[in-house]
Amino acid sequence: MSSSSEENLPKKIGRYELRRVLGEGASGIVHRAYDPIMDRVVAIKSAKADSLSAEQIQLVIDEFRHEARIAGKYAHENIVGIYDVIEANGLDHIVMEHVAGRAVTEYLASIGPMAPETVLPIVQKCAVGLAYVHYHGIIHRDIKPGNILYHHAGNLVKIMDFSIAHEIDKPGERQNGTLAYMAPEHFDTSRRITALTDIFALGATMYRMLVKRYPFTNDDTVSQILYAHQTPVSEIRSDVPREVNDLVERAMAKDDIDRFQSAAEFAYAIENVLARHYPEVLNATNADSYMTL
């Protein structure tokens, strides 16, 4: 963050003392902050009011409230916790767990494709987190590298951003999500969007972590998602075991019946591959049980 940004940083949001900017996008900004009452560091997500119209601000606030209602009910070690939604300066702000780590996209940008023995534990922990939210009837709908926080030293992995998540038994906007990771059923009105949709997105995320490139190109991406097959990971990287490639292939299967039938099954399959190919990694990370809910 530049010195000018530091100078313009507000001192407080409600009772929370702002320390620095952790990240920002087109519509939102996240601060590292300190809660003097609870004596803990938190993260606070706010709308960028100075660059949005009143209508856009309201849309962001609606997303904040939706995210808090969905994710604020649950606590799991592989999900970023939401503590509260507060009103300050005429805006709503989400107060969240502060996570020591970076988004996986930042790792990809700095180091390129990630080693299989690094990717597998990250994806396994994401699958465990998804198994938990699916058990509670929630679909995330936007699994991607940018929504996964990772800290290699602490073996810490957490899913964040439930802004477009919804209950499994309720319809959501069919084409909401990030195109590069969206499953075929997003674009086929004869099919339902289910928990298996998150599994496809996690498979596409795993693909990108392993090879850095997206599974499908920008040339008529929707048609590729529906009908084309991504270039297998094993054809791009010779150092990736065939069984790792097969995990991606099954997670990204076009038809529901050919995918892992639950996030728990996906997590269990990853553990088996880790045990066969990288037992030292499995032991070092003390991987969570696939039955953790």
Instruction: Kindly report, residue by residue over 230-243, the tens digit of the pLDDT.
Output: 999 999 999 999 99
Strands (E), 99-258: 102-103, 138-139, 148-151, 156-159, 166-167
Q: What is the mean pLDDT of the chain?
A: 89
The pLDDT tens digits for 240-264 are 999 999 999 999 999 999 999 999 9
pLDDT at 173: 67
**pLDDT of residue 286 exceeding 60:** no
Provide mean pLDDT across the span 95-117: 94
Q: Using pLDDT thresholds of 50, 70 and 90, give the confidence band for residue 193.
A: very high
pLDDT of res. 1 = 40
Give yes or no for residue 112 having a pLDDT over 90: yes
CB 247 within 8 A of CB 273: yes
Structural Rg of the chain based on CA atoms: 19
If you average pLDDT over residues 135-146, what whole number do you get? 96
109: left (phi over 0), alpha (psi -120 to 50) or beta: alpha
Q: Please tell me the predicted confidence (pLDDT) of residue 48.
A: 82
pTM: 0.91
Helix%, strand%, coil% for the chain, nearest 5: 45, 20, 35
- Dump pLDDT digits (tens) for 45-70: 998 877 788 888 888 888 888 888 88
Contact of 131 with 263, CB cutoff 8 Å: yes
Query: For position 284, what pLDDT does the model report?
Result: 74
Dist. CA 151–CA 120, nearest whole Å:
14
CA–CA distance, 135 with 137 (Å, rounded to integer): 5
**What is the share, in percent, of the chain residues with pLDDT greater than 70?**
92
> So what's the pLDDT on residue 56?
84
| DSSP code at position 288 | P
Task: Specify whether the CB–CB gap between 223 and 127 falls below 8 A.
Answer: no
Residues recognised as catalytic: 142
Minimum mean pLDDT range among 51-55, 61-65, 94-98, 123-127: 51-55
Query: pLDDT band for position 9 (50/70/90)?
Result: low
Residue 265 confidence (pLDDT): 98
DSSP secondary structure of 262-275: SHHHHHHHHHHHHH
Q: What is the mean pLDDT of residues 180-204?
A: 95
So what's the pLDDT on residue 70? 87
Number of H helices, E strands in the chain: 10, 11
